[in-house]
Amino acid sequence: MREALTSVPAYKAGQAPSAVAGVTSHKLSSNENPYEPLPSVVEAVAQAAASMNRYPDPTSSELVGAIAHKYDADPDEVIVGTGAVALIYQIAQTFTGPGDEIVYAWRSFEAYPIVTAVAGATATPVPLTDRLTHDLDAMADALTARTRVVLLCTPNNPTGTTISAADFQRFMQRVPDDVLVVLDEAYVEFCRDGSAVNGLTEYRNRHNVLVLRTFSKAYGLAGLRVGYGLGPAPIIAALRRTSLPFGVTAAASAAAVASLAAEDELSARVDAVVEQRIQLVERLRQQGWSVADSEANFVWLTTGEQTGELVNFLDRNAVATRPFAGEGVRITVGSQESNDRLIELLCELTPSS
């Protein structure tokens, strides 16, 4: 095994809820969409399944075309992959190698340190501010001549906080032209903060900004694995060199195309999740928990040393959440029922900080 991999932390997927007799379980550990797939999407997948003896279209041209159409972009500015996470791997492998540096905020999406190590590059994690937002001044200070890529996550996983357009634009003034800035917007559809940065506007004006989005969250296709990137054509062309051949299956592609065609129905579901998030944050704060400002489909509670007690208590009651030992817990916003259950259970604990 390569030396660089000895220090790679394993990706920790959200746990399934423990089975407790007579109690409804709730999986709030992986930021999934609580709704079942739309019938039109299931139908599209069934049709695609009928030709599974054939490899899929290697360029996913129908899906790339549908995404380009939706955003009024050129198909050369669009790339798809087996989840946005595959594109993050490609970014590291395409643009970095040993001796190069990748700057990202910490805590943020846990794949970032992994992909950095896999590429053999060096990680420069920059702590979040006290408000659990990206510290863009400190991130700009952390850039060196070896920095090739900056990964910005907005809304940030696991804190839910966003980067404002004004802060992003100020940050970009300090970033050299030959450094690629990635806006990982996996949760952007849940964002209702009008001052937050929007990658779509930003990438069009620059040649070193790439936007990542996914069908896993707002579109409810986590199990099929499909995400996409939008960026300047030369960046996209470079990224295609590290694409896994036939990575996006025909079923995934068909589901994504059908989902884009059903955008109205799906965005009503996103609105319902946002409504639940607003309620949940308010109720948790009323209970005295320290909750970050979330614009995503999850909330972050700073619970410090109480994290283990809280997460174990919820787990004993068949509610799975995502703990970060000694720091806090990330809880996915689910249905009204799962939120009610959460609030009911948390009444039994007293926040220690």
Using CB under 6 A, list all residues that contact ligand PMP. Answer: 31, 83-85, 109, 153, 157, 184, 186, 214, 216, 222, 227
Can you tell me the distance from the alpha carbon of 152 to that of 169, in angstroms, rounded to the nearest whole number?
13
Q: Least distance to ligand PMP from the beta carbon of 29, Å?
A: 11
* Pick 93 or 287: Cβ nearer ligand PMP: 93
Q: How far is the CB of 20 from ligand PMP (least distance, A)?
A: 26
Which residue has tokens 């930003």? Answer: 202
Compare residues 167 and 184 and give the one whose CB is closer to ligand PMP: 184
The half-sphere exposure of 142 on its side-chain side, counting CA atoms within 13 A, is: 22
CA distance 188 to 165: 13
Dihedral angle of Cα 317, 322, 325, 327, to the nearest 10 degrees:
-110
**Which one, 133 or 157, has the nearer CB to ligand PMP?**
157
Which residues lie closer than 8 Å to 154 by C-beta, 6 or more apart? 134, 161, 162, 163, 183, 184, 185, 188, 191, 196, 197
Closer CB to ligand PMP, 156 or 317, in the complex? 156
Nearest approach, Cβ of residue 112 and ligand PMP (Å): 9
CB of 255 to ligand PMP, least distance (A): 13
Q: Which is nearer to ligand PMP, 214 or 294 (CB)?
A: 214
For residue 205, the minimal CB distance to ligand PMP (Å) is 23
Phi, psi of 329 (to 5 degrees): -135, 140
Give the DSSP letter of residue 297. S
Considering the complex, what minimum distance in angstroms separates the CB of residue 3 from ligand PMP? Answer: 27
CB atoms inside a 10 Å sphere around CB 46 = 11
**3-state helix, strand and coil shares in percent for the chain, rounded to the nearest 5:** 40, 15, 45
Closest to ligand PMP by CB, 102 or 346: 102
Provide the token pair at 150: 């900056």
Q: Supply 292's token pair.
A: 């970050």
Residue nearest to ligand PMP (CB): 83
Contact 150, 181 (CB under 8 A): yes
Half-sphere exposure of 153 (CA within 13 A, CB side): 28
Q: Which is nearer to ligand PMP, 157 or 302 (CB)?
A: 157
Rounded to a whole number of angstroms, the minimum distance from the CB of residue 31 to ligand PMP is 6
Q: Does residue 332 contact residue 297 with C-beta atoms inside 8 Å?
A: yes
